[in-house]
Structure 1
């Protein structure tokens, strides 16, 4: 909703910001002065930080200890406690038993009868038992002991979400080291994290394989594509704005983004987008890079698939300096690529470096990544023309047959660089600054086959286009985080400003050329390379820039009362598609600037121990879609549009060993379609990619992670979705969008084999319902269910000086099903045959 406000508004915003700093300055200075009088603030372990932070959120606790076995220690000890004198003491036998059996224990103090101690297992984010937690509460005779057990288990669930590994608990942290002051971790939103084994299994495969079991995630491209793309909540993520590196620079997604240097992948939905400016309401994939820990890291791994793909990776982390102030993490990989299609072999390389420097009140972080691929691309199979208003659905051909040729080379490469500084002005006030840039280039051939005989597959017309594109995303952010109180209210306040500049150049653009050969999609032949005629064209530089200020405040009244979120982002959006304005043929062309206010609010309530209710409403600015290769305005990027999202939900860890969430959401966003009829946006030409009204999405999303017994784990994710176009064009109005399933879900069962130490077996199934092939509901591809199985075996080998040796085996599409993976922009995406992958990882 553009606001007709002139330059005076920029002045007003600047004056307000300066005034805020002036008002806050004396208080900040007094806090800093107090800290200086107290002397140098001692470093503390991450576990100690968690304990002390938890106590502020749960004042009912009168004691809290974390027990774990530190690296190179023989027995569990107290690694963190509200009573610091207890740190370092050996754990008593009752707590050791909890660690061994993963069974909780409850005991009332026999001397006073007024304290109750609850010992529960302590888990990391991957679900591994890493120790025990002891929570102590005030107790009155006759109270139900089960309620205290429920509280402690819920508390353990909160801890688990913040513990990446056991080693992290004993590592030192400085006051600024990534610890959130402004309350971003307590937003009323949906957030799912993929880490640990899931990332290791999908090294050299990319992010899409790692997040495929997250609720609401659906594929957008053919299986094994060199440039993965996904849908979340029925909406395709924008490849140039929805993938963030450490919450900062948006990575230009011209290539499958690697996992080798990532500690975790966060799928952020809902009000999280308030922090990111232009983004899709569906979600953000936030890629968190690895850092050097207190313990040296030296790891090597190798992977091979049944299609002949093989590759290796390395991971090295070291800290330098008397107090380990400087950290360095290096990662790299090289892979011989084989995605299952005969004749599509290629190569891919990746290298990264992560640096960090820790001072008492200052932390500096820097990241550099480079990755590339050199691999041919498979041809896409186009939809056949409608017959009596219905598109005939093509039978699935052999996914391993090459339909294009070795000449269809795809050569994407990406370079990302980012730096960040965190400075703790006072114990409750932090300033964060961040700068980053992502460069991506690609040259590709897009091959599509249409007009074939649906029964024999013969006579397919082969259309080839080629393009060279350069993308540059720049990002800058300055943010202040503060925790303060006003009377009876507590505030976790964040105020900041950011600017993102996205530029796209297309110096070479050849539109579709029809080869003299035809192709049989069921029995293909080797196609000769295209011989283009005439000089190539180019597209003008396209610029999309958003800059603005934002503020949000998480307000707390009482530990048992709801927390409220109030936020707003005020953005200046600049769009320039490089075309000249014409009042008749191109009314939306030329530069355009608008100011947009984007509010957000929500609530978060811990109704009872282990049960949290949340709700939110947000408005966001969504980056425009990119016109597909078969559109008249191919490769053009549409202007950004405002989207809205409402969400209510519940999260629970009330039942022992079970973490579950259910949420209802509604999203309204711009509806970008390829109009088959003449359209004024493209000068009256058909096949124009243009916004046509909005799409309304309403859905129900649920996840559950359960440790059923010591031996069995169960993971379930499911989504139901109804999507309807609200368009001024009667061809689309009231119909469902393409490639949007009504339901999607997966289930996985894990079994820890008790008679073989370190061995875990797993099996699962994932399913998708039917999806319409276009925005006019002229046909649908059938749904499918895929079955998978795998094994993980972790051992140590002292003879080889190996701290840990991991063997991973995974099998996807066990039944070798032939299926359409997706359908979008008039082209089928094909699934792949049974895929077997084995990985060996050595940690020294």
Structure 2
């Protein structure tokens, strides 16, 4: 796979609403980003037996490369505006679009993985053992914000899972997995803008139960994920990793068919995302920024009996409030959005064709969400999409 993206536009920096009337002060600057991504994956699956033990072997190799360039013109005080969020009046500044290169970040991710699922006693017991070698190379060059940081880290991460079928309808499972993730880059608004941090390991433990009741299948799981915590300090404006974030949660999911030609799927997740280790104990025990405690979703599909091969779809997604920063002072309210769509199966010259149409956020709900580095961002408005496969 390959992907190329370019973005050019006018952007506001450090916009501030400074009174209850909605008066706002902001500085406008020209920003340009571009990146190129190339990815590949090749794998091998195999089934075989050794005596009474059945094996399902899976091996794969993945490779991912990304080159990211950030260009921007300095946010000049000449282009500072006072306006109002309820009655905005803008002037388009005459900016020089010949902007300097701020930094280039080149990232290469390589992974070699293998896993074997061993089945005993006619699949009553299943044990999965796996390992993955990951190499993560990151280098920052060029531009006035480049820190010259270079990382070449690698790790072998294990995975193990066990499943037992207590009855024909009920199974218990447990798993443990580790992974190596790319370190974050300090945002342009931070004092140490552009600094790249070393890759870090994440660890996940999970136990659960799966119940197949015929028309409906339910899964219930408990999990814990440990990862380093990063944020921009509000006093020093320095972005850094300072401690550990522990996510503990419970998740219920289901899918099934309550009636002919009707399918339902959905679930509810509760996450206790807690800062367990912080610099000098500041904010320790608080809820991690940008992580809502509750999330839920439900989806439905209906195959219309009077129009062959036409399926109507509907989805609802709900998210509870989330804190904007780790100090847990400011929060964003929860929101619920609804989507509707349709899917039609046909053929053209004996070639199968699927046409999909969808409207996301059909009620055009206005809501806040979080973006990178705990900044505020507007949720997507009503969006129409059409595709063919």
User: Is the pair's TM-score, using the shorter chain for normalization, greater than 0.5?
Assistant: yes
Change (3 A) 1:549 1:488: same
1:595-647 alpha-carbon deviations (Å, 9 max, x no partner): 42311111133333343332211111011223334223445543311111112
- Give the one of 268, 271, 282 matched to 1:721: 271
1:223-256 alpha-carbon deviations (Å, 9 max, x no partner): xxxxxxxxxxxxxxxxxxxxxx5xxxxxxxxxxx
Q: SS where residue 825 of structure 1 aligns?
A: helix
Counterpart Cα distance in 2 of 1:666 and 1:462: 42
- Find the counterpart in structure 1 of residue 115 from structure 2: 552
Counterpart Cα distance in 1 of 2:86 and 2:74: 26
Q: How does 1:453-532 map to 2 (within 5 A)?
A: 453-464=18-29, 466-473=31-38, 481-495=45-59, 500-506=64-70, 508-514=71-77, 515-529=79-93, 531=95
Contact kept in structure 2, 1:449 and 1:519, CA below 8 Å: no
Say if 2:260 is the partner of 1:710.
yes
Question: What is the TM-score with the length of structure 2 in the denominator?
Answer: 0.81
Change (3 A) 1:801 1:470: closer
- The runs of 5 or more residues in structure 1 that have no matched partner are 1-244, 246-415, 417-437, 580-585, 679-686
Contact kept in structure 2, 1:542 and 1:577, CA below 8 Å: yes
**Structure number, greater radius of gyration:** 1
Q: Which has the higher strand share?
A: 2
Q: How does 1:337-376 map to 2 (within 5 A)?
A: none
Counterpart Cα distance in 2 of 1:659 and 1:446: 48
- Find the counterpart in structure 2 of residue 352 from structure 1: none
- Give the one of 731, 734, 748 matched to 2:282: 731
- Find the counterpart in structure 2 of residue 812 from structure 1: 361
- The runs of 5 or more residues in structure 2 that have no matched partner are none
Q: How does 1:184-263 map to 2 (within 5 A)?
A: none
Contact kept in structure 1, 2:30 and 2:97, CA below 8 Å: no
Contact kept in structure 1, 2:207 and 2:222, CA below 8 Å: yes
Measured after TM superposition, the shift of residue 668 of structure 1 is 1.0
Q: SS where residue 259 of structure 2 aligns?
A: coil
- Find the counterpart in structure 2 of residue 607 from structure 1: 166
Contact kept in structure 2, 1:466 and 1:511, CA below 8 Å: no
Say if 2:221 is the partner of 1:673.
no
Measured after TM superposition, the shift of residue 732 of structure 1 is 3.6
- Find the counterpart in structure 2 of residue 693 from structure 1: 243
Measured after TM superposition, the shift of residue 543 of structure 1 is 4.0
Counterpart Cα distance in 1 of 2:34 and 2:346: 48
- What is the aligned-residue RMSD (CA, Å)? 3.9
- Find the counterpart in structure 1 of residue 12 from structure 2: 447
Contact kept in structure 2, 1:767 and 1:785, CA below 8 Å: yes
Measured after TM superposition, the shift of residue 724 of structure 1 is 1.0
Counterpart Cα distance in 2 of 1:475 and 1:793: 30
Measured after TM superposition, the shift of residue 523 of structure 1 is 1.0
Counterpart Cα distance in 2 of 1:459 and 1:445: 17
Change (3 A) 1:489 1:836: closer
Aligned residues: 384
- Find the counterpart in structure 2 of residue 830 from structure 1: 378
1:31-73 alpha-carbon deviations (Å, 9 max, x no partner): xxxxxxxxxxxxxxxxxxxxxxxxxxxxxxxxxxxxxxxxxxx
Counterpart Cα distance in 2 of 1:543 and 1:695: 27
Measured after TM superposition, the shift of residue 734 of structure 1 is 2.1
Measured after TM superposition, the shift of residue 818 of structure 1 is 3.2
Question: What is the TM-score with the length of structure 1 in the denominator?
Answer: 0.40
Say if 2:222 is the partner of 1:659.
no
Counterpart Cα distance in 2 of 1:796 and 1:489: 44
Say if 2:294 is the partner of 1:743.
yes
Contact kept in structure 2, 1:473 and 1:503, CA below 8 Å: no
Contact kept in structure 1, 2:205 and 2:224, CA below 8 Å: yes
Say if 2:178 is the partner of 1:619.
yes
Measured after TM superposition, the shift of residue 496 of structure 1 is 5.8
Counterpart Cα distance in 2 of 1:545 and 1:804: 36
Measured after TM superposition, the shift of residue 456 of structure 1 is 2.0
Q: SS where residue 285 of structure 2 aligns?
A: coil
Q: How does 1:271-282 map to 2 (within 5 A)?
A: none
- Find the counterpart in structure 2 of residue 216 from structure 1: none
Counterpart Cα distance in 2 of 1:797 and 1:475: 30
- Find the counterpart in structure 1 of residue 329 from structure 2: 778
1:139-179 alpha-carbon deviations (Å, 9 max, x no partner): xxxxxxxxxxxxxxxxxxxxxxxxxxxxxxxxxxxxxxxxx
Q: Which has the higher helix share?
A: 1
Contact kept in structure 1, 2:132 and 2:156, CA below 8 Å: yes
Change (3 A) 1:591 1:734: same
1:783-827 alpha-carbon deviations (Å, 9 max, x no partner): 12234555x4859899x999989685747343x543223355353
Change (3 A) 1:689 1:605: same
Measured after TM superposition, the shift of residue 720 of structure 1 is 0.9
